[in-house]
Amino acid sequence: MISTFEGSLLLHHTKNKGDIAATKAIADLTFKGYLILTPLVCEHLPFDFVAYKDDKFYKIQGKYAGDNRVVNKTIWVDKNGTHQKKYKVNDFDFYAVYLPDIDKVVYPSVHFNGYYITTQIPNSPTPFYWWEDFTDFTEVASKRTYKEFGVDLTTRKVNPDSRIHTRKVERPSKEELGKLVWEKPTAQIGRDLGVSDKAVEKWCKAYGVEKPPRGYWVKKAYGKVEGQLTIHDED
């Protein structure tokens, strides 16, 4: 059993790391154009701050992930000892997970709690979540495999002729893109085409293609989506 004194030291250490994660995330999101709102008293709130952009608010929970794991609980200490409580899906919208080994912040949704986000290609054929797929608020992501990176598991070297590194990408037409964004998330479209999800978003903006609303893919996974929006030309 952890003593109150030991628990206090643990809390202090954990809080320092949490403060680092929140500070890194606030700086990163501010750079990306979000307005950050911090509550005056937040010790008992299930989120650390709120990010606002394009008329949308996002409740954010900052976490320091030294082991790349998206922690699914909070720990606190009082006169009765050390306590912990698992997060619920309605506690916040997204994590802001600071990955100290690469000095980056990633933003998986609350549904990714308990999972690991990889920053180094593992020496294993087991599929994994890759950090670059979470650089913005991410509700849905597919697991990657070492083959996508052209890695030889025997030598741990990347094949310079790998498809993922050499593919030349042609932007799909407006009609093709308008259909694709309703068939799969932008992150998946980007992986299929060999570009980032940001590139897909820029294509949508350039064409005036309307994407599914926030939360669409999670709802679709549970069979709760409404009808698809119609994509119209602007002529």
- Supply the pLDDT for residue 137: 92
Q: Which of 78-92, 127-141, 186-200, 221-235 has the lowest mean pLDDT?
A: 221-235
DSSP 8-state symbol, 10? H
Within 10 angstroms of residue 75's Cβ, the number of other Cβ atoms is: 15
- Residue in 74, 18, 70, 16 with CA at minimum distance from that of residue 44: 74
Whether this prediction's pTM lies above 0.75 is answered by: no
- Residues 94 and 104: their CA atoms lie apart, in Å, by 16
Q: What percent of the chain has pLDDT over 70?
A: 74
**For residue 128, pLDDT beyond 80:** yes
Largest CA distance in the chain: 70
| Segment 2-23, tens digit of pLDDT | 444 444 434 444 557 878 888 9
Mean pLDDT of the chain: 78
- Supply the pLDDT for residue 231: 44
CB 33 within 8 A of CB 53: yes
Instruction: Select 4-166's CATH number: 2.40.128, 3.90.660, 3.40.1350, 1.10.287.
Output: 3.40.1350
Coil, strand, or helix at residue 126?
Answer: coil
Which residues of the chain form CATH 3.40.1350? Answer: 4-166
Tokens encoding 212 = 């599914």
